[in-house]
Chains A and B, each alone.
Chain A
Amino acid sequence: MDVNIILALFLAVIMIVVAVAALMAKRVRTAVLAAGLVSLVASIMFLLLAAPDVAMTEAAIGSGLTTIIFFYVLNKIRRSDV
């Protein structure tokens, strides 16, 4: 078995677990953090799939800026469940 395949299986399991955690989360901020985590793992997956450009974009935009914009909006909506 190739080491890349083992790593990819591991990452796939983690991504699905975190995505389900994002759905089950009680508060919206946890869901946002979990979605950022899905992007983070996805970018390692892109690296394994031989796409460093896409991995870099996902790192800078998907995992970074999207989470940041979400938190800016959550800051304006302060309720008990966000």
Chain B
Amino acid sequence: MEQYLTLQNIGIATGFALILIGLYGGLTNKNILRIIVSFTIFNSGLNIVIVALAYLKGRVAPIIDDTTGLDNLSQKFVDPVPQALVLTAIVIGLGVTGVMLAYALKMYQNKQTLNINDFKETKW
């Protein structure tokens, strides 16, 4: 039990839990705004999983300053590439959320309802 209790595993487990909670909320709710809220929770969980996978025990953030020195950096830093990807993912997540919300607002203005079962035209 003790060897599983690392920072990385805690992060991965939390992220998975958030992903499952978000999926459950997205699949069971009828209200379109609640589905979008579930999507943002799902998004946060996914980001935590990716960053936690990049974490290495006992290493520090990939920014050079007085405490890190200049040599042997690949032995000291965590992986910077997944962090960069997650950074972009968060910004794109905001764009996607904004588009979904604008779409929901437009549908509400047309039909005065938020229940997704009432939007039948685009069903396939």
Q: Which residues of chain A have a CB within 8 Å of any CB of chain B?
A: 2, 4-5, 8-9, 11-12, 15-16, 19-20, 22-23, 28, 31-32, 35, 38-39, 42, 45-46, 48-54, 57-58, 61-62, 65-66, 69-70, 73-74, 76-77, 79, 81-82
Q: Known interface pairs A45-B11, A66-B94. Does A15 touch B55 (Cβ–Cβ under 8 Å)? A: no
Interface SS, B side: helix
**What residues of B have a CB within 8 angstroms of the CB of A28 in the complex?**
31, 33-34, 37
Asked whether B41 lies within 8 Å of A22 as measured between CB atoms, the reply is: yes
Interface of A is mostly: helix
Closest 7 CB pairs of A and B: A12-B14, A50-B61, A73-B101, A19-B21, A8-B10, A31-B37, A23-B25
Nearest-Cβ distance from residue B44 to partner chain A, whole angstroms: 5
Interface centre among A4, A66, A69 (most CB of B within 10 A): A66
Chain A residues contacting B7 (CB-CB under 8 Å) are 2, 4-5, 8, 48-49
Q: Which of B5, B21, B83 contacts A51 (CB 8 A)?
A: B83
CB nearest to A73 among chain B residues: B101
Q: Given contacts A31-B37, A66-B40, A66-B94, are A49 and B101 in contact (CB under 8 A)?
A: no
Q: A13 CB to closest chain B CB, in angstroms?
A: 9
Are B90 and A61 in contact, CB atoms less than 8 angstroms apart?
yes
- Kindly identify which residue among A5, A50, A62, A69 contacts B90, using a CB–CB cutoff of 8 Å: A62
